[in-house]
Amino acid sequence: MNRYRITYQKTGPLRYISHLDLQKIWIRTLLRAKIPLAYTQGFHPVPKISPGWPLALGWNGLGEIIDLWFDFENLNPLLEITEKDLSDRINQNAPQGLHVENLQLIPLYSPALTTITHSAVYGINFSTKISPDELQKKMNVLHAAPSIVRSRRNKTYDLKPLIENFSIFPDPDQNTIMEVQMAARDSAMGRPDELVEALGIPMDQIRFSRLYFLLESSLNI
Amino acid sequence: MNSKEIEEQLDQFLLNVQKPGRYVGGEFNSIQKNPNLIKTRIALAFPDIYDLGVPNLGMSIFYDQLNQISDVWAERSYLPWEDMEAEMRKRKIPLYTLESKTPLSEMDMIGITIPYESLYTNVLNFLDLAQIPVFSKDRSAEHPLIIAGGHSTFNPEPMSAFIDVFVIGEGEEVFSEIIHIYQSWKLENKAKIELLHEISSLEGVYIPSFYEPEYHSDGTLARLTPVFVRAKQKIQKRITAVLPPPPKHFVVPLIDVVQNRVAIEIMRGCTRGCRFCQAGFVTRPVRERPLEQIIESIETSVEETGHEEIALLSLSSSDYTQIQPLVSKLHEIYNKRKLNISLPSLRIDTVSVDILEKLRGSRFSGFTLAPEAASEKIKRTINKHITEDLLLETVDMIYSHGWQTIKLYFMIGLPGETLEDVQAIADLCIKVIKIGRKNIGKRSQLNLGISTFVPKPHTPFQWAKADDPEQIVEKQKLLKDSLSTPGIKITWSQSDTTMFESWSSRGDRRQSAVIHRAWQLGAKFDAWQDHFNKEAWIQAFEENHLDPNFYMHRERGENEIFPWDHIETGVSKRILRKEYELSLKGDLREDCRSGCYGCGVNQSFALIRAENPDSKWFCPPTPYQPEDSK
Ligand code: SF4
């Protein structure tokens, strides 16, 4: 058994596919790619896969992560086991919008993906609804407050400590972009749409992407 | 709106609808082509939601087949659910193809699959959402050609006002012939009528606008007359002499649909002659698919899709002559793999239990049997005669071999049925659950599916009246009362659905106006339990001065001309009548594998059989006889 950490994109039509359906898509894609997934032990064996934090429906994921366990004993002997070959195979058998960017062998018993995920970086595209300067001002005001109390699913929480970093800039098409790093831990999950709401900017025509995750190991470097 | 605008619009609101994955395409094995290299663009349509449409085998066959033609691009389209429909109508977004998001009105042709009658209003809604006029007469050469096929079109008349071209029977060959004609017609820039004329020369094609009905004063049909000399008097269904190989590529949906599986047809047609079964009569002759082809197709489609479930389809799997070798082979290949193979419609006997035991793998789903009737009289009426001993012996074996749930299908409302016959169903079910209790105690479960019989065209019961709703209620009550014991669960067919089916399946041309009006009044998704809009339909009948009872509760005269008589399935009306009479007398007809009774199929298709010497049919070979020498 080998464990791989895979960084991939979830874009296009796949934006509208739920976290649960996406896992089934992974399983089918690997079956088609003839890369045997390892199964759990027990009476009802299920494929060993461990996805990162769910991505909100409708958003682009440009650096999503999933851990997969492959069972190379059952591998088609004609298949090469290089990282490039594995990711090529997956990409050839993936539906539109699912694309492996990077595939890396990791120690079998390293900690679970979600426990070592620290933060996520989001891109918020405001189109031309607000200029970078204006947005910067709004962010400054927001940041000056001692706390940003929000309520979600009938629970109130403070958004402020979940915002870890941000930068604002125009893209080549003169759209206003904000990249924001937010906490992505079990106990503290920052949502960029909550931030936009806290800024008092109407949500229509704003596009969200999750650009990449920051893992414990990558923070140490 | 062009495809780019449609996509932009979708991004604005898709998150507000349930299951947005239905509306975005992008599935593995869905086909993208460069529109600049395409001569003919086709939308294949299933007039119900994505979840039901994707598993449809007919759609998969045509999608695979047509996309193999290099200058043709076949895309798919399904009916949006109500929340999506509301958004689309509000924003004036036309219905589009999933692959390229092109508005359907820009297609050259739209091929609509209509397997059952309850999709009729959906077809209208589909065209309307596509911003295409619903009436055939209102569409010109500028509009896509609307083609329909599927089992309900063996009586095309109720939908005749909306469809340009019906394909009757097996469409695998006809579709590409129509495309061929279409392509040269388009080059010549001629009128739509010219196109229809050309297409009408094909076998198995029916163009309703070329015919005019006349009625007797009692409302029955007097005649259906061709308005053009060249229009055929009779339309013979199309068949392929040899079953074409199964589709190579199946679209793999991104979301869960009703059946997440690959379906492979192992055999077409049936010789059993159950008198209620339309499929059994309209799909004759029996043609099998070679064993090797089935195995190969399972292997490639499992690899290609990543599905872990395979369904082997036919009307009567036990009659597939290679069933034992097929099952052994599948057992050998897939025993260790996590694959589920379902083989529905097995005969009721212990051999079937052996077969399913080999295939079931680690999963014990329910075991399904369809005795349909319990009393001796009704078994004879419907010509499905399974002895009680055999049924109980099979049930005993099923419960003792590890299955906990048995599903039994019965029918009520059959011609001549009395409460006594229905009581026999209840008595039999009690025996069944007792056997379950004896074997595995309280874990045993019996699920009953009690459907209400609807007489169908092209069957021996096409003359029969449908049972009165009051009778049905009483029969259902009897079953409910007799079977309210733990371990037994009953599901019924909805009385509204039954009623709808019985007036539309044997409807005539005048029902087009009724369907149109009912749709205007809000009828759609008629097959969905809580959606059936009875008031709309009743009003639509009234406004058109038609009586639903005329279609439902009327015993037809022996010589009555039926609205579907010009559609020939190959089984002669004379034989159907004979079967009806036998049925009333309680006489059985043996499976015609053990003796041909000359239903007409082998004569009707003798020519195509002769042209294809490698066709293996079960009908005895007869020399080709021209119609008039019979
Ligand atoms: S022609 Fe004879 S053998 Fe063939 S289906 Fe009809 S009755 Fe059966």
**Residue A143 belongs to some domain of the structure:** yes
Q: Which two tokens stand for residue A45?
A: 């064996």
Determine the pLDDT at residue B444: 95
Which of A69, A87, A110 terminates a domain? The answer is A110
Determine the pLDDT at residue B388: 96
B20 and A16: CB-CB below 8 Å? yes
Give residue B355's pLDDT band: very low, low, confident or very high (50, 70, 90).
confident
Give residue B362's pLDDT band: very low, low, confident or very high (50, 70, 90).
low
Q: If you average pLDDT over every residue of chain B, what do you get? A: 93
Q: Which two tokens stand for residue A216?
A: 């414990």
**Residue A221 belongs to some domain of the structure:** no
Determine the pLDDT at residue B618: 85
Let me know whether A68 and A127 are in one domain.
Answer: no
Residue B337 pLDDT greater than 80, yes or no? no
Determine the pLDDT at residue A221: 40
Conformational region of residue B413, where left means phi above 0, alpha means psi within -120 to 50, and beta covers everything else = left
Say if CB B348 and CB B318 are below 8 A apart.
no
| Cβ-based interface (< 8 Å): residues of A facing B | 12-14, 16-18, 21, 24-25, 27-32, 34, 57-58, 93-97, 204-205
What are φ and ψ of residue B329, in 5° steps? -60, -45
Say if CB B252 and CB B348 are below 8 A apart.
no
Residue B466 pLDDT greater than 80, yes or no? yes
The region of weakest confidence among B169-178, B205-214, B272-281, B324-333 is B324-333
Let me know whether A37 and A73 are in one domain.
Answer: yes
B307 and A17: CB-CB below 8 Å? no
Q: Which two tokens stand for residue B484?
A: 């309210």
CA distance B89 to chain A (A): 20
Q: Which residues of A touch B308 (CB under 8 A)?
A: 31
Residue B627 pLDDT greater than 90, yes or no? no
Which CATH number characterizes residue A57's domain?
Answer: 3.30.70.580
Q: Which residues of B touch A18 (CB under 8 A)?
A: 21, 255
Give residue B123's pLDDT band: very low, low, confident or very high (50, 70, 90).
very high
Query: Tokens 């509760």 sit at which residue?
Result: B553
Which of A110, A143, A162 terminates a domain? The answer is A110
Closest ligand 1 atom to B596 CA: 2
Ligand 1, atom 4, lies closest to the CA of B619
User: What is the B294 CA–ligand 1 centroid distance (Å)?
Assistant: 25
Let me know whether A188 and A206 are in one domain.
Answer: yes
Give residue B366's pLDDT band: very low, low, confident or very high (50, 70, 90).
confident
For residue B8, the chain A residue with the least C-alpha distance is A205
Determine the pLDDT at residue A78: 73
User: What is the B559 CA–ligand 1 centroid distance (Å)?
Assistant: 24
CA distance A204 to chain B (A): 7
Residue B364 pLDDT greater than 80, yes or no? no
Q: Which residues of B touch A24 (CB under 8 A)?
A: 256
Closest CB to A29 among B15, B256, B306: B306
**Residue A11 belongs to some domain of the structure:** yes
Closest CB to B304 among A18, A30, A32: A32
Q: What residues contact B513, with CB distance under 8 A and at least 6 apart?
A: B161, B540, B544
Strand stretches in B220-276, DSSP E: 221-226, 235-236, 262-265, 267-268
- Evaluated on CA atoms B193, B195, B199, B201, the torsion sign reads positive
Q: Which residues of A touch B304 (CB under 8 A)?
A: 32
What one-character-per-residue DSSP string does B605-630 give? Answer: THHHHHH-TT--BSSPP-----GGG-
Residue A162 CA to residue B288 CA, distance in Å, equals: 65
The region of weakest confidence among A113-122, A150-159, B22-31 is A150-159
CA distance A14 to chain B (A): 8
pLDDT digits (tens, 9 = 90+) for B568-625: 999 999 999 999 999 999 999 999 988 899 999 999 999 999 898 888 888 887 655 5
**Residue A95 belongs to some domain of the structure:** yes
| Start-to-end CA span in chain A (Å) | 28
Determine the pLDDT at residue B426: 97
Domain locations along chain B = 3-236
Let me know whether A140 and A46 are in one domain.
Answer: no
Let me know whether A103 and A121 are in one domain.
Answer: no
B14 and A58: CB-CB below 8 Å? yes
Q: What is the mean pLDDT of residues B313-333?
A: 92
pLDDT digits (tens, 9 = 90+) for B53-105: 999 999 999 999 999 999 999 999 999 999 999 999 999 999 999 999 999 99
Let me know whether A119 and A105 are in one domain.
Answer: no
Let me know whether A73 and A7 are in one domain.
Answer: yes
Tell me which residues have their CB closer than 6 angstroms to ligand 1: B 271, 284-285, 592, 596-599, 601-602, 618-619
Counted across chains A and B, CB pairs separated by less than 8 A come out at 66
Let me know whether A77 and A130 are in one domain.
Answer: no
Which of A110, A128, A154 terminates a domain? The answer is A110
Give residue B548's pLDDT band: very low, low, confident or very high (50, 70, 90).
very high
Q: Where in the sequence is the domain holding A170, given as residue range(s)?
A: 115-215
What one-character-per-residue DSSP string does B283-328 give? Answer: TPSPEEPPHHHHHHHHHHHHHHH--SEEEEE-S-GGG-TTHHHHHH
pLDDT digits (tens, 9 = 90+) for B235-262: 999 999 999 999 989 999 999 998 888 9
B303 and A32: CB-CB below 8 Å? yes
Determine the pLDDT at residue B260: 87
Ligand 1, atom 6, lies closest to the CA of B599
Strand arrangement of the beta sheet that strand B309-313 belongs to: B262-265, B309-313, B340-342
Say if CB B526 and CB B120 are below 8 A apart.
yes
Q: Find how far residue A135's CA is from the centre of its chain.
A: 25
Let me know whether A185 and A210 are in one domain.
Answer: yes
**Residue A38 belongs to some domain of the structure:** yes
Q: Which residues of B touch A46 (CB under 8 A)?
A: none
Residue A8 CA to residue A97 CA, distance in Å, equals: 10
**Residue A130 belongs to some domain of the structure:** yes
- What pairing do the DSSP bridges indicate for beta strands A155-158 and A149-152? antiparallel
Q: Which two tokens stand for residue B226?
A: 């061709």
Let me know whether A193 and A147 are in one domain.
Answer: yes
Residue A91 CA to residue A212 CA, distance in Å, equals: 19
| Residue B408 CB-half CA count within 13 A | 27
Residue B348 pLDDT greater than 80, yes or no? yes
Q: What is the mean pLDDT of residues B107-113?
A: 98
Which CATH number characterizes residue A163's domain?
Answer: 3.30.70
- pTM of the predicted protein model: 0.94
| Number of domains observed in the structure of chain A | 2
Determine the pLDDT at residue B363: 62
Q: Which CATH architecture has domain B3-236?
A: 3-Layer(aba) Sandwich (3.40)
Give residue B340's pLDDT band: very low, low, confident or very high (50, 70, 90).
confident
For residue B363, the chain A residue with the least C-alpha distance is A44
Say if CB B583 and CB B613 are below 8 A apart.
no
DSSP state letter for B565: T
Let me know whether A92 and A37 are in one domain.
Answer: yes
| Cβ-based interface (< 8 Å): residues of B facing A | 11-12, 14-15, 20-21, 23-28, 30, 252, 254-256, 303-308
Residue A86 pLDDT greater than 80, yes or no? yes
User: ipTM score of the complex?
Assistant: 0.90
Residue A215 pLDDT greater than 90, yes or no? yes
CA distance B253 to chain A (A): 9
